[in-house]
Amino acid sequence: MKKEEKNLQSLESKLTRFQAPHTYAIIFFVIIAMWLLTFVIPAGKFTTHEVEYTDASGAVKTKTVLMAETFRYAYNFDTEKLSASLNTLSSDAAKLEELGVDPAALSDFLATDQASWSQDALDAVGLTDPVLYDLFGDSIYDMSQKLHNTATLWGTDDYGGFGVLNYLFEGLVTGDKYGSAIGIVALILVVGGAFGIIMRTGAVEAGIYAFIKKSRGLERYSLPLLFFLFALGGATFGMSEECIPFAMVMVPFVIAMGYDSIVAITVTFVAAQVGNATSWMNPFGVAVAQGIAEIPILSGAPFRITMFVVITAAAAGYMMFYAEKVRKNPHHSAVYEMDAYFRNKITEESEGVHSEFKLGHKLVLLDMAAVLIWIVWGVTQKGYYIPEIASQFFVMGFVAGVIAIIFKLNGMTVNEMASAFQSGVADLAGTAVVVGMAKGILLVLGGSDATVASSLNTILYGMGTAIGGLPVVMTGWLMYVFQSLFNLVVTSNSGQAALTMPIMAPLADIVGVSRQVAVLAYQLGSGFVDAFTPCSASLLGVLGVARINWMKWAKFQIKMQGFLFLLGSIFVIIAVSINFS
């Protein structure tokens, strides 16, 4: 018995000394695992086309989507068959004119050494891969061996410059100012600087203590209310990266009320993803998916609104169950030691701050509220996105700094204002790097371009077709499972819709499930998992703000994910049973 107790104590000692891996380390090993996967899974590709859809504001927009029936594996050309087919084509002047191919350019190509023939050379003639596939199908390829599109250690031109060991750089510079990664990186840095100024004014701390003083005993009501408000933000305009600045405010606020940083992230980011998953009008998610699936935009709203109310209430209840355990015994918190930073900071800054809630403090908080309303209005009414949102936050920080100088809050000067902005940027620099790393996971699988042969396309097609031929309830549920798994890697709502809905919509027709159910499975899968996956730049951003290790977060969130998945499954089954359409 004593020996068993000694062994148990030894095990507990080892577990105590165990340090959860750093987020950077987790992503690195995920990158390696995905890279090795590309040696096993052959590359596949699709043909794409433009489809029109009507967004939530009624505007007609276009989206590039893949054509599910065009999936094919990547093969080398069979030059003899290709030569014969192109020679036949060259004699058909009408067809060449229809395709916009210059006969002379095609003749020059045919005169070159067949060993030098490549898709790039054919592209120059006007015979792109989709055109060739439409003309000749698989007949011009050597189908004896499927090709693998695997990145080298160093970036090469044939893989878009991406290499396994430069995943950080390529991840950081991927995209444009309107999306991940570079747009989100810039947004994070600007937001960090703006809130650096606001936090230096002392207005947030003063407001927190004024609220706590007036709401003693009402904490259990304020948190569910905040959860509902953030869920509404997710439902109405797809709130995600916008949670990062809110988290900067909510973490010290929630900790000061006796809870922990996990509760703060749950009441902000998780709530927003619950709203996103159950939305009836998110212009970047459900509206895009409905447009691609060719069903009326905002259709099925009553069912989705009911789902939003039920799941939001249940998720808020789950959060409060955990929150009350922490409030009664702070040592129950999984991040008790990590939160010491915020507890100490609150203690250090509390003297003289909460004794008087000055006019200057109120004006700074009013500035914050006004800009946040401005952001919501801009996103929902004017289509503002990352560039505009970043500028709005910059204005917020600048105005707060001017107010602090005028009212002499914390001795603010112009130089102090600049220094505070710099400190805020520095605080989120590590988070910005994580965003680039997370993007590298997608790049190592070949990227999200459906027309470029990649292992990701093959995974998408294989998982999509595997769920066919089953009972309709099972098929609908497996669609939800598939979308949840796919969201572990592709966290963009509109991107996931563009990649998966062209397959899921016709698959729904084949198996007898309504396309509305396919959209429902998409939105639930692409919403909840965003609060868990380490590939989510927004999640890593809010965790960075809260100083929470992803492994600690995952330990808490995996249980909540199970709870949310159960609720989502129930609604998918109900939707299939009532033929939701």
Distance CA 253, CA 543 (A): 16
Q: Place 156 in a pLDDT band, splitting at 50, 70 and 90.
A: low
What is the average pLDDT score of the chain? 84
Distance CA 417, CA 429 (A): 19
State the amino acid at position 162 in one-letter form: F
pLDDT of residue 214: 73
Distance CA 168, CA 78 (A): 37
Q: Give pLDDT tens digits for 370-425.
A: 987 887 788 767 777 778 888 998 999 999 999 999 999 999 999 999 999 999 89
Give 21's DSSP letter. P
The proportion of the chain whose per-residue pLDDT surpasses 90, expressed as a percent, equals 40
Distance CA 33, CA 25 (A): 12
State the amino acid at position 495 in one-letter form: G
550 token code pair: 């992803």
pLDDT of residue 10: 57
| 3 state SS of 72 | strand
Residue 153 has pLDDT above 90, yes or no: no
Give 22's DSSP letter. P
Residue 8 has pLDDT above 50, yes or no: no
Q: Specify the range with the lowest mean pLDDT, choosing from 35-49, 286-300, 363-377.
A: 286-300
Phi, psi of 239 (to 5 degrees): -55, 125
The single residue listed with the structure tokens 């230096």 is: 200
Bridge partners, 49 (sequence order): 65
DSSP-based helix, strand, coil % in the chain, nearest 5: 70, 5, 25
Q: Place 12 in a pLDDT band, splitting at 50, 70 and 90.
A: very low
Nearest alpha carbon to residue 255 among 202, 192, 204: 204
CA dist 507 → 305, 500, 515 (Å):
26, 11, 9
The predicted model scores a pTM of 0.68
pLDDT of residue 226: 86
Q: Give pLDDT tens digits for 551-563.
A: 899 999 999 999 9
pLDDT of residue 15: 38
Q: Place 82 in a pLDDT band, splitting at 50, 70 and 90.
A: very high
580 and 478 Cβ atoms separated by less than 8 Å: no
Residue 486 has pLDDT above 80, yes or no: yes
- Top pLDDT among 232 and 448 is at 232
Residue 63 has pLDDT above 90, yes or no: no
Distance CA 225, CA 204 (A): 19
The proportion of the chain whose per-residue pLDDT surpasses 70, expressed as a percent, equals 88
Nearest alpha carbon to residue 499 among 465, 520, 522: 522
Bridge partners, 73 (sequence order): 44
Q: Residue range 163-192: average pLDDT?
A: 83
pLDDT of residue 494: 75
Q: Place 353 in a pLDDT band, splitting at 50, 70 and 90.
A: very low
The single residue listed with the structure tokens 């069903």 is: 295
pLDDT of residue 17: 52
Residue 61 has pLDDT above 50, yes or no: yes
**E strand or H helix that includes residue 539:** helix 537-546
Residue 64 has pLDDT above 70, yes or no: yes
- Top pLDDT among 27 and 421 is at 421
Q: Residue range 186-212: average pLDDT?
A: 83
61 and 53 Cβ atoms separated by less than 8 Å: yes
Rank 150-154, 288-292, 311-315 by mean pLDDT and report only the highest: 311-315
**E strand or H helix that includes residue 66:** strand 60-73
- Three-state secondary structure of 274-286: HHHHCCCCCCCCH
278 and 527 Cβ atoms separated by less than 8 Å: yes
**Strands 76-77 and 60-73: what pairing?**
unpaired
CA dist 122 → 27, 133, 134, 170, 177 (Å):
38, 12, 14, 28, 32
Residue 356 has pLDDT above 90, yes or no: no
Q: Specify the range with the lowest mean pLDDT, choosing from 85-94, 129-138, 160-169.
A: 160-169
146 CB neighbour count, 10 Å cutoff: 16
